[in-house]
């Protein structure tokens, strides 16, 4: 579904990603793990067009993502839940969700999508007329995921969904990711919480200093000695 081939990217003269090869197949959940500053967020931003790669290619179902204007990438079926959620704090939950359905294709399905999101997050229905900035951290994460789901995506990019949340809420967020997956959605998730994310995904990549150091199924990654020592603490 999504294919990255020898991708370089960075900010100005600073290069953050070096020759990344990565693939996400339809129906899969794939994790990208690695330490702070490894380039995980840059990877997500380059896929959704917030920054442009300096080298290499990205294709989504055979279509060239790099050649697509940033605001048209949603139309390819890619929805990005950005780092720190980035809700519109002084818009209501309803209006935040409405922004997720901005593209003409999504507008036509607005009512249906809203019902889907409210089914998934009943809490959002209760809070729909509340300003997004007044929600708790967990609720904000639900709202951010809900906003991305409003565009009826094929591929959901999740950037550190557990960041800044209480342990109990982290558990809930990963439960949600499982439920979203079971609905047939393809997920690419970036996480520092390696232990949790490996329970949810089928395969994972280890990203360190801007390069892919290891990849494999979740079981293989859990048995990998480097990952065990550096990230799982066993």
Partner 1 sequence: MQAFLDTFDIYLLEAVVNGILLGGVLALLALGLNLIFGVIDVTWICYAELVMIGMYGMYYMVQVFGLPYWAAAPIAILQVAALGAALHYIVIAPLLTAPPINQLLATGGVLFILQSFATVAFGIDFRNLGIRLPVLAIGDMHFSYSRLLAFVAALLGMLAIYFFMKRTYTGTAIRAVAQDRQIMSLMGVDTKRIYLITSALGGALAGLAACLLVLQYDVHPFVGLSFGPITFLICVLGGLGNFVGGFIAAFVFAQIISLGGLYSDLEWGYVLAFAFFIVMMFIRPAGLLARRS
Positions that interact with partner 1 (CB under 8 A): 48-50, 69-75, 79-80, 82, 86, 88-91, 95, 98-100, 102-103, 106-107, 147, 151
Q: What is the nearest approach in angstroms of partner 1 to the Cβ of residue 39?
A: 19
CA angle 145/151/154 to nearest 5° reads: 85
19 vs 137, which CB is nearer to partner 1? 137
Q: Which segments of 61-138 are extended strands (E)?
A: 63-64, 78-81
Distances from the Cα of 157 to the Cα of 29, 50, 219, 226, 232, angstroms: 10, 13, 22, 26, 23
Q: What is the nearest approach in angstroms of partner 1 to the Cβ of residue 41?
A: 13
18 vs 110, which CB is nearer to partner 1? 110
Phi, psi angle pair for 79, to nearest 5°: -120, 135
Distances from the Cα of 8 to the Cα of 21, 53, 91, 194, angstroms: 10, 6, 36, 25
Rounded CA-CA distance 159/77 in Å is 17
Phi, psi angle pair for 2, to nearest 5°: -110, 135
42 vs 224, which CB is nearer to partner 1? 42
SS3 content of the chain, % helix, strand, coil (to 5): 40, 25, 30
Find tokens 């499982």 and name the residue. 178
CA angle 173/174/176 to nearest 5° reads: 65
Q: What is the nearest approach in angstroms of partner 1 to the Cβ of residue 109?
A: 13
Q: What is the nearest approach in angstroms of partner 1 to the Cβ of residue 74?
A: 4
Q: What is the nearest approach in angstroms of partner 1 to the Cβ of residue 229?
A: 36
Q: What is the nearest approach in angstroms of partner 1 to the Cβ of residue 220?
A: 32
146 vs 218, which CB is nearer to partner 1? 146
88 vs 116, which CB is nearer to partner 1? 88
92 vs 211, which CB is nearer to partner 1? 92
């Amino acid at each position: 579904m999504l294919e990255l081939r020898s991708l370089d990217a960075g900010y100005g003269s600073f290069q953050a990603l070096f020759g990344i090869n990565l693939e996400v197949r339809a129906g899969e959940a794939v994790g990208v793990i690695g330490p702070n500053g490894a380039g995980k967020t840059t990877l997500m931003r380059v896929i959704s067009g917030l920054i442009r790669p300096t080298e290499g290619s990205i294709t989504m179902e055979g279509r060239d993502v790099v050649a697509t204007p940033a605001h048209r990438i949603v139309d390819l079926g890619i929805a990005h839940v950005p780092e720190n959620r980035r809700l519109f704090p002084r818009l209501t939950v309803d209006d935040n969700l409405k922004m997720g359905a901005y593209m003409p294709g999504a507008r036509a399905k607005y009512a249906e999508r809203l019902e889907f999101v409210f089914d998934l997050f009943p809490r959002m229905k209760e809070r729909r007329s509340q300003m997004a900035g007044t929600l708790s951290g967990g609720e904000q994460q639900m709202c951010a995921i809900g906003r991305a789901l409003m565009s009826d995506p094929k591929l959901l990019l999740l950037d550190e969904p557990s960041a800044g949340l209480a342990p109990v809420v982290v558990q809930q967020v990963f439960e949600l990711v499982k439920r979203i997956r079971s609905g047939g959605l393809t997920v690419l998730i970036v996480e520092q919480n390696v232990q949790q994310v490996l329970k949810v995904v089928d395969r994972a990549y280890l990203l360190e200093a801007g390069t892919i150091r290891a990849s494999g199924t979740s079981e293989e990654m859990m048995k990998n000695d480097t990952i065990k020592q550096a990230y799982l603490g066993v």
